Chains A and B, each alone.
Chain A
């Protein structure tokens, strides 16, 4: 019947109107500046630079490799490499960014910089209250403004941060093992060299015993030779 749907619709809106005064769960509005809800974990807006430890400058993971700068589709990243080196998270001496600027008025939040970074140094932030009275300078963030601690990363994206930490720890273990192996090899080498040297001097002193000794340690003797 014509008009039936209209009456049903009117009843529905009337129910909403009255219900919104009676039951609070109908109103989904969050009174924003006073009330806040935590952003969901997948939230992302603009990138930030992760640092370990307490000192943002010393602990910054970024090594100024400039991959993100080259991959950034809107070209909002600007990096200047340092001339000196500092130890990175793994203790290796690396160059670091003397300047690292992101123009968030240009950034399109695509997360490509995060995906290409081999050092887990750049991650997406959830900070959205970025309004400023200076629309040029105020939206061009430098490395100090971009630097945020790993704890902050853990707070905003706990799952991802745990994965990243595990990966970094694994790499650290690997690197340590490698370093240890290298050190052992070096030590062994040094020991072998010393032994060879001793053997050589011994052989010179006792030529009769030399054939047996040479057969026992041919490698050391060979390398030495």
Chain B
């Protein structure tokens, strides 16, 4: 009994801390103070994770390329993000003469604000959701779609051809991949019957023979997760979909004209966006804060959530270290001719899964449909050169 209460306390430690702090305040201020505390916590924790992921990325990419990575600032280079932060804070903030000053200033601020808004609905642990919203997923995607606006604000206001080209690429890409991102999540909503992210996690937090009911362990869930991962990579402008900032042709894309802390804000926005979209992916397909095995249920729920998020970040880094950048037409072909049809098919398969009952046949039927579709579409795509190795009209 004593042990279980300790486990409960460890699980709910942040909630208890918050209650303890706001206990010092008068009753009328308690609710507002609680919300402010949660917001402050989110604004502190995720930039901290941002620093860790930047370091992981630089070290990890280095190792993948048989380099050492940063190892000068602090032991093993762990203070590199601090040095980078100080550098970007003390750098001169340049605004081009012909730029639209107000929009140029607002774009990075808007990006960071919008990216942090997404965290409002993410369940980061048992009872650890800032806003318990019934339409949480909808809110998340509304906020996620707003990042395109800030990217275009940045590109347009800079009055630089590279910025504008980068921004136009970014908007085209983000809108194209927004569709499969949403569609792959809709399958989860269909099965759960709720847009509330909390309910989605609760639905996955069950165990049969000690194994969890995560959606990734179903045929439609696995396909959905892969498609979601592809779309999420493109949505966050990560390699191999980092055309908007393709340095080989566009200097730095939409943030070419940004320096100093505004540049750091874009950087922060990108990584915090990655963390948040990983968090959503974990919530939708990887069981959110639930433990991977029933016997590990005593580990605090927030550890699982943050562990899954950081694991996704590592996969992002791994992909970045492996894949070269796509060409613009390949990117678009892949989105509209491969990913989107498969997500639509996945919706159908999810419906089939829902109505085929609890028999083993549904595993066979659903897996077969998805596998067949994957093979056929890959074949057709390769044949028509929609996807596959690069071909050059004039350089063969």
Contacts and interface: CB of A to CB of B under 8 A. Distances in A.
Interface of A: 1-3, 6, 9-10, 12-14, 16-17, 19-21, 26-29, 31
Contacts of B321: 13, 17
B66 interface: yes
11 contacts: A1-B378, A2-B381, A9-B322, A10-B318, A10-B319, A10-B322, A12-B322, A13-B318, A14-B318, A17-B63, A17-B321
A74 B140 CA distance: 60
Contacts, number: 45
Contacts of B378: 1-3
Given A2-B374, A2-B387, A29-B68, A17 B322 contact: no
B23 to A, nearest CB: 48
Contacts of B63: 16-17, 20-21
A31 B68 CA distance: 9
A27 B66 contact: yes
A28 B66 contact: yes
B268 to A, nearest CB: 26
B327 to A, nearest CB: 16
Contacts of A10: 318-319, 322
Contacts of A16: 63-66
Residue among A2, A16, A26 with the most chain B CB within 10 A?
A2
Contacts of A19: 66
Nearest to B71: A31
B9 interface: no
Contacts of A14: 64, 318
B41 to A, nearest CB: 33
B140 to A, nearest CB: 28
Nearest to A19: B66
B239 to A, nearest CB: 12
A119 to B, nearest CB: 46
A14 to B, nearest CB: 7
Leading 9 A-B pairs by shortest Cβ distance: A2-B378, A13-B64, A9-B322, A13-B322, A20-B63, A17-B63, A13-B321, A26-B66, A17-B64
Nearest to B60: A17
A16 B322 CA distance: 11
Contacts of B381: 2
A29 B67 contact: yes
A28 B67 CA distance: 7
A10 B68 CA distance: 19
Contacts of A13: 64, 318, 321-322
Nearest to A12: B322
Contacts of A26: 66
B363 interface: no
Given A10-B318, A13-B322, A2 B382 contact: yes
B323 interface: yes
Residue among B64, B318, B323, B387 with the most chain A CB within 10 A?
B64
Contact of B68 (A3, A6, A17, A27): A27
A13 B239 CA distance: 15
A81 B66 CA distance: 54
B66 A6 contact: no
Contacts of A6: 322-323
Contacts of A9: 322-323
